[in-house]
Chains A and B, each alone.
Chain A
Amino acid sequence: MAEELKVIVFTLAHEEYGIEVDKVRTIERMVPITRVPKTPAFIKGVINLRGVVIPVIDLRGRFGLPESETTENSRIIIVAVNDLEVGFIVDSANDVIDIMSDTIDVPPEVVGGIKAKYLSGVAKIGEDRLLILLNLSEVLSRSEIIQLEQAGE
């Protein structure tokens, strides 16, 4: 039987992505970010989220997409996965939708330059709307960060 899945929809470089709503803590407007030295470029720094210091990742940078200026619409989505709390900078976040699990396909090998392992599936909504579902634990995988750190040195 098909299950219903609630996802937060956000955009990155004109494409639509989804994160399951139960992994999202809050969605924040852009706030001043403190740079943390000696970290990979996609780690923008840390922010103060109501007294808690939270690292912020530029999701464009993380996926190897071209960087862009932050705008009025830019948001920081705070996600919590496996006791990691991290903020994602996205171009905009504006929707919560329900999708049926049977509309989710396995991701194609390469989608817009993003490595397939970051994706858990592609959902088809309506006629021609495609929603890319993120595999958060891969996006946040520490081993890869360590690799990136070593490559940077």
Chain B
Amino acid sequence: MEMNQYLSIFIDEANDHLQSLNENMLRLEQEPEDISIVQVIFRSAHTLKGMSATMGFEDLASLTHEMENVLDLVRNNQLKMNEVIFDALFKCLDSLEGMVQDVVGGGDGKADVSDLVEQLKAIVRGDVGGSSGKSSASSPPNDAPLVATEMLLDQYQLSILEQSVDNGLRVFHIEVIVREDCVLKAVRAYMVFEVLERNGEVIKSHPSVQDIEQDKFERSFSVYYISHIDKDQLKKSISGVSEIEEVKIMAVDRSSLAELDQSKQRENEATVQAIQSAREIAAAAAAAPQAAAQPASQAASAETAKKAPAAPAKAAGAAAAGGRTIRVDIERLDKLMNLFSELLIDRVRLEQLASEVRRNDLTETVEHMARVSSDLQNIVLKLRMVPVESVFNRFPRMVRDLAKSLDKKVDLVITGAETELDRTVIDEIGDPLVHLIRNSVDHGVESIADRAAAGKPETGTVQLRAFHSGNHVFIEIEDDGKGINRDKVLDTAVKRGVVTPEAGKKLTDEEVYMLLFAPGFSTADKISDISGRGVGLDVVKSKIESLGGQVTVTSAFGHGSTFSIQLPLTLSIISAMLVKLGSEKYAFPLSSIVETAAIRREQIRELHGNRVIEFRKSIIPVVSLAELLECPDYRDDEEAETEMLVVRKGDKLAAVLVEDFISQSEIVLKTLGKYLTNIPFVSGATILGDGQVALIVDPNSLIK
């Protein structure tokens, strides 16, 4: 059967499935108890297997088949996810990705997957002995109060808890520790119980209520508790009682209840090793959210998701994917854009003609056409807009792997993934973001030990945010790491000759941080394989600037740094100032113009052979555009008074002399084609209302 016609569909869909697999695996890693995620993963893997087999990619099919076997055990509660399984499955995803990439590159998608297949088979056999021992050793020793024997539940209590979970109520295990210097422990405990009774029902407490009332407990007591309020509220109200040192609240769900059930029978029954090790892992995993003191462990929400309105952001994103969409070749959109820009040009021409002819009905028709076409313009531009999600969604996996290899704990929090940007920007922004996020994880977030020493939670947080503001999109990367050491940056900059010591002393903090983006600059004490690849942040900066964007840094030493990128919404249409030089017309991007003014000849002064002018109490260089562009029929030195544009590059200014301003207008950006590349001072071209081509001046190139 001829399969080539289906190949591109296969590749698209395979990539979608791999992306979804990666995302859901990461989610599952956060919430290992959530069987519904396993179901999603299973379905994706299953579809991928079917597709691959149909297309004749045997290795892809056989690997996904083995993954399915593992996932099948997990979703039927016969196997618990653990670190070993996660690692194995992630490796499989990498391998699958490699095979699909091979297919994309015209290969046959073959790869040696026998090792991985063997590993998966071993997991299915329950043969994860050595590694499971390792992972249970790495779990906090008996930091798992769920299975503390004194807290075992009887069948009745267990079934109450199970029913409550099924009914969408929240079930918690709460441990309260009173302060060492607490005088009346029993009173405090009584007060805590009062708070608890107000908001729900205590199912079991240890020690028993009587014992607690008679002061027969050390410093802590724990309860199983059913409530209608959420964890944060609960924590707040319990902490409201004075002389309480700590409140540990952990959400309990069906699977952890099942664990309790099992642990009860453990003494009597010789359980299969696989299940036993899985139990330990699950207990450790259940304890993990508590240890990390995560704000809202959604472990319980999976079972209650149908009823509970508070669904995590990720789940909402998955639901949104259900919208009706159509895949369109980007080339077709480009053609549409070209045709549309012709229409815009004709519109401007018509407007000119109508204003000359001065006929009411013509003017009205042209005005109507102008309105329709500006609506059309919005739609055409929106067609090219893609949510940044498509770039962002590769980062959770990257951060996970990075954190692992650096032996750090890092949470990546993504917000605003639905923010839309022009496709052309999306395609280009990925690499700079990879660089900045690597930078944050590698240089920003401290090691676990350093964080503990600084009194911070072990897990560092890197926030990746995107949002609209005016005509721009901002993307920010914020970490709660050690921040930027101003003095160290300055020292290095001086050492590398980026600034002179004298100039360095005058710099503001922000200016010092920007030195990080100077070419050849790196503050890393030692070169790591993560970000020390000889590529500095200067590449990031130049890339972003080539997209018409800007990057800024703020930082608080000891508390973290924020890298903020400002990007234009689209690269296809910009606001520009049209200027005249003799018979020629040029366009200046409005974004780099600071001011327009007229100056008299005598205001221009000579300074060391260079022409300068005083502008707002500083001396800025004067650039003659006509001279620079070798204009054939205009020279500005004969004029007594000339128009000038003040343009900005970073914090440098220059005055550009032009003959006249024509107008400010929206222009459609065009390239000069592949034949004319790297033309000095020119960044592109646009087509004016009269059909003439006008070149767009690159203001950055005017300032040295």
Question: Which of B114-122, B205-213, B398-406, B666-674 interfaces with chain A?
Answer: B666-674
A34 and B676 contact, CB distance less than 8 A: no
The yes or no answer to A128 lying at the interface (CB within 8 A) is no
The yes or no answer to A52 lying at the interface (CB within 8 A) is yes
Tell me, rounded to whole Å, the shortest Cβ–Cβ distance linking A147 to chain B: 14
Query: Which residue of chain A lies nearest to B630 when distances are taken between CB atoms in the complex?
Result: A37
Candidates B342, B584, B632, B679; contact of A34 at CB < 8 Å: B584
A84 and B675 contact, CB distance less than 8 A: yes
Candidates B671, B673, B679; contact of A39 at CB < 8 Å: B679
Residues in B neighbouring A36, C-beta threshold 8 A: 672, 676, 679, 682, 695
B681 and A38 contact, CB distance less than 8 A: yes
Interface residues on B, range: 20 to 34
B673 and A84 contact, CB distance less than 8 A: yes
The yes or no answer to A32 lying at the interface (CB within 8 A) is yes
Candidates A31, A37, A39, A52; contact of B338 at CB < 8 Å: A52
Residues in A neighbouring B680, C-beta threshold 8 A: 37-38
Which residues of A in the span 27-72 have a Cβ within 8 Å of any Cβ on B? Answer: 31-32, 34-39, 43, 45-48, 50-55
The yes or no answer to A136 lying at the interface (CB within 8 A) is no
The yes or no answer to B575 lying at the interface (CB within 8 A) is no
Residues in B neighbouring A39, C-beta threshold 8 A: 676, 679
B674 and A83 contact, CB distance less than 8 A: yes
Residues in B neighbouring A140, C-beta threshold 8 A: 675
Question: Which of B181-189, B509-517, B602-610, B684-692 interfaces with chain A?
Answer: B684-692
Residues in B neighbouring A16, C-beta threshold 8 A: none
Tell me, rounded to whole Å, the shortest Cβ–Cβ distance linking A121 to chain B: 24
Q: Most chain-A Cβ atoms within 10 A of its Cβ — which of B341, B670, B675, B676?
A: B675
Whether A55 contacts B673 in the complex (CB less than 8 A), given A35-B584, A46-B685, comes out as yes
A34 and B681 contact, CB distance less than 8 A: no
B629 and A48 contact, CB distance less than 8 A: no
Bound-complex Cα distance A45 to B674 (A): 14
**0/1 per residue, A117-152, Cβ < 8 Å to B?**
000000000000000000000001010000000000
Candidates A45, A50, A55, A83; contact of B342 at CB < 8 Å: A50
Bound-complex Cα distance A31 to B693 (A): 11
Bound-complex Cα distance A51 to B687 (A): 7
Tell me, rounded to whole Å, the shortest Cβ–Cβ distance linking B294 to chain A: 53
A34 and B692 contact, CB distance less than 8 A: yes
Bound-complex Cα distance A102 to B687 (A): 46
Residues in B neighbouring A43, C-beta threshold 8 A: 676
Bound-complex Cα distance A45 to B691 (A): 15
The yes or no answer to B100 lying at the interface (CB within 8 A) is no
Interface size on A, residues (CB 8 A): 25
Which residues of B in the span 76-126 have a Cβ within 8 Å of any Cβ on A? Answer: none
The yes or no answer to A85 lying at the interface (CB within 8 A) is yes
A53 and B673 contact, CB distance less than 8 A: yes
Tell me, rounded to whole Å, the shortest Cβ–Cβ distance linking A110 to chain B: 27
Residues in A neighbouring B354, C-beta threshold 8 A: none
Bound-complex Cα distance A145 to B629 (A): 19
Bound-complex Cα distance A20 to B674 (A): 22
Query: Which residue of chain B lies nearest to A32 when distances are taken between CB atoms in the complex?
Result: B692
A37 and B675 contact, CB distance less than 8 A: no
Query: Which residue of chain A lies nearest to B692 when distances are taken between CB atoms in the complex?
Result: A32
The yes or no answer to A86 lying at the interface (CB within 8 A) is yes
Residues in A neighbouring B673, C-beta threshold 8 A: 46, 53-55, 84-86
Residues in A neighbouring B691, C-beta threshold 8 A: 31-32, 48
Candidates A34, A50, A52; contact of B695 at CB < 8 Å: A34
A53 and B675 contact, CB distance less than 8 A: no
B687 and A48 contact, CB distance less than 8 A: yes
A47 and B693 contact, CB distance less than 8 A: yes
Residues in A neighbouring B695, C-beta threshold 8 A: 34, 36-37, 46
Candidates A37, A50, A54; contact of B629 at CB < 8 Å: A37
The yes or no answer to B345 lying at the interface (CB within 8 A) is yes
Residues in A neighbouring B685, C-beta threshold 8 A: 34, 46, 53
Bound-complex Cα distance A55 to B670 (A): 12
Query: Which residue of chain A lies nearest to B697 when distances are taken between CB atoms in the complex?
Result: A37
**0/1 per residue, B339-355, Cβ < 8 Å to A?**
10110010000000000
Tell me, rounded to whole Å, the shortest Cβ–Cβ distance linking B342 to chain A: 4
Bound-complex Cα distance A45 to B694 (A): 11
Residues in A neighbouring B681, C-beta threshold 8 A: 37-38
Tell me, rounded to whole Å, the shortest Cβ–Cβ distance linking B343 to chain A: 9
Query: Which residue of chain A lies nearest to B346 when distances are taken between CB atoms in the complex?
Result: A51
Query: Which residue of chain A lies nearest to B340 when distances are taken between CB atoms in the complex?
Result: A51
Bound-complex Cα distance A32 to B691 (A): 9
Candidates B338, B682, B694; contact of A51 at CB < 8 Å: B338
Which residues of B in the span 342-374 have a Cβ within 8 Å of any Cβ on A? Answer: 342, 345
A46 and B679 contact, CB distance less than 8 A: no
Tell me, rounded to whole Å, the shortest Cβ–Cβ distance linking B525 to chain A: 42
Residues in B neighbouring A53, C-beta threshold 8 A: 670-673, 685, 687, 693
A34 and B693 contact, CB distance less than 8 A: yes
Residues in A neighbouring B341, C-beta threshold 8 A: 51
Residues in A neighbouring B675, C-beta threshold 8 A: 55, 84-86, 140, 142
B672 and A48 contact, CB distance less than 8 A: no
Residues in B neighbouring A32, C-beta threshold 8 A: 691-692
Tell me, rounded to whole Å, the shortest Cβ–Cβ distance linking B433 to chain A: 29
Bound-complex Cα distance A42 to B675 (A): 13
A34 and B674 contact, CB distance less than 8 A: no
Bound-complex Cα distance A47 to B673 (A): 11
Residues in A neighbouring B674, C-beta threshold 8 A: 83-85
Candidates A37, A48, A142; contact of B692 at CB < 8 Å: A48
**0/1 per residue, A1-45, Cβ < 8 Å to B?**
000000000000000000000000000000110111111000101
Tell me, rounded to whole Å, the shortest Cβ–Cβ distance linking B585 to chain A: 8
**0/1 per residue, B613-647, Cβ < 8 Å to A?**
00000000000000011101000000000000000
Tell me, rounded to whole Å, the shortest Cβ–Cβ distance linking B699 to chain A: 15
Which residues of B in the span 262-288 have a Cβ within 8 Å of any Cβ on A? Answer: none
Tell me, rounded to whole Å, the shortest Cβ–Cβ distance linking A44 to chain B: 11
| Sample of 5 further A-B pairs with CB below 8 A, known A37-B629, A47-B693 | A34-B584, A37-B628, A37-B695, A46-B685, A86-B673
* Pairs A–B under 8 Å by Cβ, sample size 18: A32-B692, A34-B692, A37-B628, A37-B630, A37-B695, A38-B630, A38-B681, A46-B676, A48-B687, A48-B692, A48-B693, A51-B341, A51-B342, A51-B687, A52-B670, A53-B672, A53-B687, A86-B675
List 5 tightest A-B contacts by C-beta distance, closest first. Answer: A51-B342, A34-B693, A37-B629, A53-B670, A53-B685
Interface residues in chain A, defined as those with a beta carbon under 8 Å from any beta carbon in chain B: 31-32, 34-39, 43, 45-48, 50-55, 83-86, 140, 142
Interface residues in chain B, defined as those with a beta carbon under 8 Å from any beta carbon in chain A: 338-339, 341-342, 345, 584, 628-630, 632, 670-676, 679-682, 685, 687, 691-695
